[in-house]
Amino acid sequence: MLRRSVLVTALVLAGTVLAGCAATTDDRPVVEAYTETGDDAATRVRAATEHAATIGIDGVTLTEDGTGLDALPDGIDSLVRTATRGGAVPELLVSNYSESLGDFSPAIGTALLGDAATRTEIAHELAALAAAHHLDGVQIDLESLRGRDRAGLVAFAAALETAVHDELGDDAPVSMAVMASTSASGFRDTGYDLRALGEHVDRFVLMTYDEHGPWSEPGTIGALPWAQRVVEAAEHEGVSADRIDLGIAGYGYVWGGDERSADVGQVSPARARDLAGAAARWSDHSGEWSAVLDDGRQLHWSDARSYRARVALARTLGLHGVAYWSLGTQALPA
């Protein structure tokens, strides 16, 4: 009997070839597509609703002291209307992203999660905000947390579940984006008690991207075998496959070169392809593209072909669906 990882790899490759046919079957994974506000965002959302069941709107951030919510970005209401008219469920993301850091803030997360009164207040404010702007659910996107935050995160999820059901109805979903890990200790160290969270969270989005990035050596954005190990680790922690969405990147990274260049850090798949030219190489193993340029720069990126390979993986693993980040860098592939 083949080991599961070998069998899944074979099935993913077959599924990629047959993706055009499989997309019409009833076992296709459910799609969530993420968007940020900005120019042409409504146009991108309108196109995405042809394939996406949920539009995750990014979103509202915690204040720098972690005790309140910043104002919603302009344009949220337009995106909600566009998603709803297209038949998709609009979902509000709440995060601990810090503009001053330019990254997710552990301190903001701890300030929220470490105080019971703050957790309850923020949960009610989020639910009321979602109701006022006609969103159908809320997704917790608290990242770069620490092990000390585990109990607080579970308590916050419970408070949010109660508040969302009170404001939006008993069927209104609470979901959670989860930083990827391939081990139980990895999840715990980044603040997730998945088994306990499962009592209050309907669906978990595993962020199976950023396996490598500007903070690391050059490498895959989210290779297929690595993504599968993340899923298996989450299942081992008590999350059933039918409650997992596989995260899919719609972008790439550039390593090396002049830091003053516009082509440093994250790039869209189209820009990565333009930069790579004839140097672009596809890997069936990772399900991604890579290139080494004449000036020494290295690229790895995930595109529409990568998307289809991951949809096939999600189907093979029996997952609830996939979650695509983001419409701002590439349209949702068919």
Q: Is residue 261 part of a domain?
A: no
- Tally the domains of the chain: 1
20 is written with which tokens?
């055009």
169 is written with which tokens?
């109805």
Asked if residues 41 and 83 have their Cβ atoms less than 8 Å apart, the reply is no
Q: Is residue 257 part of a domain?
A: no
13 is written with which tokens?
């490759």
Main-chain phi, psi angles of 67, to 5 degrees = -110, 5
Give the span between the Cα atoms of 45 and 90, in whole angstroms: 10
Q: Is residue 214 part of a domain?
A: yes
Q: Is residue 98 part of a domain?
A: yes
Give the span between the Cα atoms of 101 and 333, in whole angstroms: 32
Domain that holds residue 195: 4-251+304-325
User: Can you give the CATH number for the domain in which 153 is found?
Assistant: 3.20.20.80
Q: Is residue 149 part of a domain?
A: yes
Q: Is residue 17 part of a domain?
A: yes
Q: Is residue 297 part of a domain?
A: no
Tens of pLDDT along the chain (334 residues) come to: 333 343 344 444 444 433 333 333 456 789 999 999 999 999 999 999 999 999 999 999 999 999 999 999 999 999 999 999 999 999 999 999 999 999 999 999 999 999 999 999 999 999 999 999 999 999 999 999 999 999 999 999 999 999 999 999 999 999 999 999 999 999 999 999 999 999 999 999 999 999 999 999 999 999 999 999 999 999 999 999 999 999 999 999 999 976 656 577 999 999 999 999 999 999 999 999 999 999 999 999 999 999 999 999 999 999 999 999 999 999 999 8
CA angle at 27 for the pair 24 and 30, rounded to the nearest 5°: 90
123 is written with which tokens?
């949960």
Strand partners of residue 177: 205
Give the span between the Cα atoms of 327 and 38, in whole angstroms: 11
Give the span between the Cα atoms of 286 and 19, in whole angstroms: 17
Q: Is residue 117 part of a domain?
A: yes
